[in-house]
Amino acid sequence: MQHTLVALVENKPGVLTRVASLFQRRSYNIDSLTVGRTENPGISRITIVVDTDQNSAERLTAYLLKLINIVWVEDITEKPMVSRDLAMVKVSVNPSSRAEVMQLVDVFRARIIDVGNDSLMIEITGSEEKIEGFIDTLKPFGILEMVRAGVVAMGRGANPLGDPRVNGNGSGKVPT
Amino acid sequence: MKKLNGAQIMWECIVHEGVKQIFGYPGGANLPIFHHLTEYPIDLVLPRHEQSAAHMADGFARVSGQVGVALATSGPGATNLVTGIATAMLDSSPVVFFTGQVGSHLLGFDAFQEVDVIGITMPITKHNYLVTDVNDLTSTIREAFYIARSGRPGPVLIDIPKDVQSAVIEWEYDDSPIHLAGYKLEPALKAGELGSAAEMIKQAKKPVILAGHGVLLSGAMQELKDFAEKTMTPVAVTLLGIGCLPASHPLNLGLMGMHGEAWVNQAIQEADLLLAFGMRFDDRVTGNLKSFAPAAKKIHFEIDRSEINKNVTVELALIGDIGESLRQLAPHLEASDRSDWNEHISDLRIESGKRDIKNLKTDKLHAAHVIHDISLLADPDCIVVTDVGQNQMWAAQYFTREKPYTLVTSGGLGTMGFGLPAAIGAKFARPDAEVWCISGDGGFQMTQAELQTLKQEGLKVNIVILNNGYLGMVRQWQELFFSRNYSGTPITSPDFVKLAEAHGLTGLRITQRSEIEAAIRKAQETEGSVVLEFKIEREDMVFPMVPTGAGLHEMIRRPETLP
């Protein structure tokens, strides 16, 4: 099944290489990997989606924790959380299909961000399922180009990731 | 505060770590480092190849318990270290490697002797660093030594561009506590875990301890002995665990796994509880996982969380330093007798002993005789360093080890050529000890240039070459599984006696069983290193053997009669 892992990493050169190299070395397939800044300038946040079983996911978490520059890792798949992906889709339109596509954009609460003579560029944010659904719906019109940003995820509630009050049970490294 | 350049700061930090012995090779990109070396109380050994520098530092670390240090220049110097780094990584050996690098303004420009050593060594180090600012050098070196020696030890590499070596700053040693946000050692065990472990141990009728390298790395020999004696649990050891309990201890069964003794593997297969102490269920230890110890529950005592349920699924995992875990567990243990179980294993052992070639009468020169006789005649406190292959397995089977840290061998990576340089490192770690290097004709030729290092350093190491004219272990597999098609395995050798003499050392050739004892005595009495070439039976086999894919109980036993 798909596992969503979230890691806090030190903002140092080569950290992403270490993570990517680990996946290759241990034969894990990455479905999605995103890196971004956080509220702390010294710390970046990596969200990884992998398709693997529970035992392998636990070991992957342990392998990631072994990397010196990784401060915290958690498999949040089973926890209350929100995950979002963003896609930009350029779809082919003609005078007769344009209105229909715009209607679909409304239904999916997507946004049109560029309009051409025979194309529309659409931005959509949401869960993986929602984006997959939207893309399937657009396919018959002809998708000219598409890019997805990758999944980012966050646990629900007030406690931030890595908070030892929640996670300091020996299941991971406790940030100091 | 004093004005120092990067090279001097590096040496200051190394001295602060207590290092007195290093192994390294100079080159264009580490000239400042070598220039300033002579200002510091550190002894350098010059190997004949950087790979050997790495193995020397590794051998030094394994025998001394201290962090080993090896140096090389950029480019080919750094890439030559790679096999040695990987060897240290697979065997959790604490070594810090320093490589020179081209000037930081040239990084990425394919300059002369530039290679991305950080990229190359990322998967074979515990951690590595490129230092581009001389102000980061002190904290980096302190972190590197700390990471190398703590937790599950391992190699750390520091790459230092030439301009950083030359850059001068106002400096004083910073001994503030090391803070690594992402590096936390495992917390103490929980009471519940200890209780469940104690209960499982109490219930077990046929327990076996599998003791590995972790016991030695943790220094938990006493804790292991106390545990085994209190619960009367027999102890099987991994290749790297040899020495964690004296070979003569009645509860020490000996080596397990692919070339383990039959009774050891039989005991594991019959066990109802396996207690894995600082070992990682390597494929050479378990055989086919589907039929591995089918009746046994398993408790894994392990410092590295990522080893849990990797190869073998366990009922309980106690994560932490094995010595600490056993100390915490001790008060929960109940003394037990288990005499039926131990007697049963003794019976298995007696049955196996009858097949042992060392107990059979023959005049032919078999490797087993050679190692067995050296084991009897050598100083009991000697250090044995092996190469890789049949020689390694014969050494593990027949060279009895009573003390910890007296067998050095490349277990995980199985690096041919490891023996001689690692023996040199071991000798530097314990200069007063008798050192025996056991190798084959193949592996010895990979790093034989180090004979001259022995000469240059005036060292005494006794080097045994078991010469059968084949790459013996591969030939054994070809005989058993590839229809005796000896493709690529016949190997010729130089005249090893003359080779030793050419290096200013002593060479002896032994062709008869009756000559073994005199040769060993001669080697012990001779000043300087001695090469002993034993012309052994060409198609000698290492048995027992668990073929790849077979279960531990499906081992090929030793023949009951001589071949």
Residues 302-361 of B with CB under 8 A from A: 304-306, 308-310, 313, 319
Residues whose CB is less than 8 angstroms from the CB of residue B148 and which lie 6 or more positions away in sequence, other chains included: B67, B94, B95, B96, B126, B154, B155, B156
Express each pLDDT in B348-381 by its tens digit.
Answer: 999 888 877 777 777 889 999 999 999 999 999 9
Token pair belonging to A128: 């993986």
pLDDT at A171: 37
Express each pLDDT in B399-444 by its tens digit.
Answer: 999 999 999 999 999 999 999 999 999 999 999 999 999 999 999 9
Give how many domains chain A has, as a whole number.
Answer: 2
Residues A15 and A56 in one domain: yes
Chain A positions with Cβ closer than 8 Å to B = 9-10, 13-14, 17-18, 21-22, 25, 55, 58-59, 62-63, 65-72, 170, 173-176
> B369-388 burial string, b = 16+ CB within 10 Å, else e?
bbbbbbbeebeeebbbbbbb
Mark yes or no for CB contact B306/A18 under 8 Å: no
- For residue A118, being part of any structural domain is answered with yes
- For residue A41, being part of any structural domain is answered with yes
Mark yes or no for CB contact B147/A71 under 8 Å: no
Catalytic residue IDs of B: 50, 112-113, 162, 473
- For residue A174, being part of any structural domain is answered with no
Q: Beta-carbon neighbour count of residue B488 at 10 Å?
A: 10
Mark yes or no for CB contact A173/B187 under 8 Å: no
Q: Provide the CATH number for the domain around residue A161.
A: 3.30.70.260
Token pair belonging to A121: 């560029």
Residues A106 and A163 in one domain: no
DSSP B25: -
- For residue A176, being part of any structural domain is answered with no
Q: Looking at chain A, which residue has its C-alpha nearest residue B313?
A: A55
- For residue A117, being part of any structural domain is answered with yes
Residues A93 and A62 in one domain: no
Nearest chain A CA: its distance from B482 CA (Å): 30
Q: In terms of residue numbers, what domain contains A114?
A: 82-152
* Domains B191-351 and B357-546 alike in fold: yes
Q: What is the C-alpha separation between B197 and B203, in angstroms, rounded? A: 10
Q: Would you say residue B464 has pLDDT above 90?
A: yes
Reported as type and span, the H/E element at residue A13 is: none
Distances (CA, A) of A21 to B238, B341, B539: 30, 47, 43
How far is residue B227 CA from its own chain's centroid? 25
CB nearest to B123's CB, from A25, A58, A66? A25
Q: Residue count of chain B, please give it.
A: 563
Q: Looking at chain B, which residue has its C-alpha nearest residue A69?
A: B182
pLDDT confidence tier of residue B382, bands split at 50, 70 and 90: very high
Percent residues over pLDDT 90 in chain B: 93
Q: Say if residues B359 and B353 touch (Cβ distance below 8 Å).
A: yes
Closest by CA position to B373, among listed B482, B247, B534, B164: B534
Mark yes or no for CB contact A59/B308 under 8 Å: yes
Residues A118 and A68 in one domain: no
CATH topology of domain B2-171: Rossmann fold (3.40.50)
- For residue A173, being part of any structural domain is answered with no
Q: Looking at chain A, which residue has its C-alpha nearest residue B118?
A: A14
Residues A44 and A109 in one domain: no
Express each pLDDT in B272-329 by its tens digit.
Answer: 999 999 999 999 999 999 999 999 999 999 999 999 999 999 999 999 999 999 999 9
Mark yes or no for CB contact A170/B306 under 8 Å: no
Residues A128 and A162 in one domain: no
pLDDT at B189: 84
Closest by CA position to A152, among listed A112, A125, A175: A125
Contacts with A176 from chain B: Cβ below 8 Å: 179, 181
Closest by CA position to A15, among listed B137, B109, B127, B150: B127
The SS3 call for residue B269 is helix
Q: Provide the CATH number for the domain around residue A86.
A: 3.30.70.1150
pLDDT confidence tier of residue B191, bands split at 50, 70 and 90: confident
Residues A75 and A162 in one domain: yes
Per-residue pLDDT averaged across B199-222, rounded?
98
Contacts with A14 from chain B: Cβ below 8 Å: 118, 122, 130
pLDDT per residue rounded down to tens, chain A (176 residues): 999 999 999 999 899 999 999 998 999 999 999 999 999 999 999 999 999 999 999 999 999 999 999 999 999 999 999 999 999 999 999 999 999 999 999 999 999 999 999 999 999 999 999 999 999 999 999 999 999 999 999 999 888 887 554 444 333 343 33
- For B357-546, the fitting CATH number among 3.30.360.10, 3.40.50.970, 3.30.590.20, 3.40.50.740 is 3.40.50.970
Q: What is the C-alpha separation between B276 and B298, in angstroms, rounded? A: 7
Residues whose CB is less than 8 angstroms from the CB of residue B110 and which lie 6 or more positions away in sequence, other chains included: none
Q: Domain ranges in chain B?
A: 2-171, 191-351, 357-546
CATH class of B191-351: alpha beta
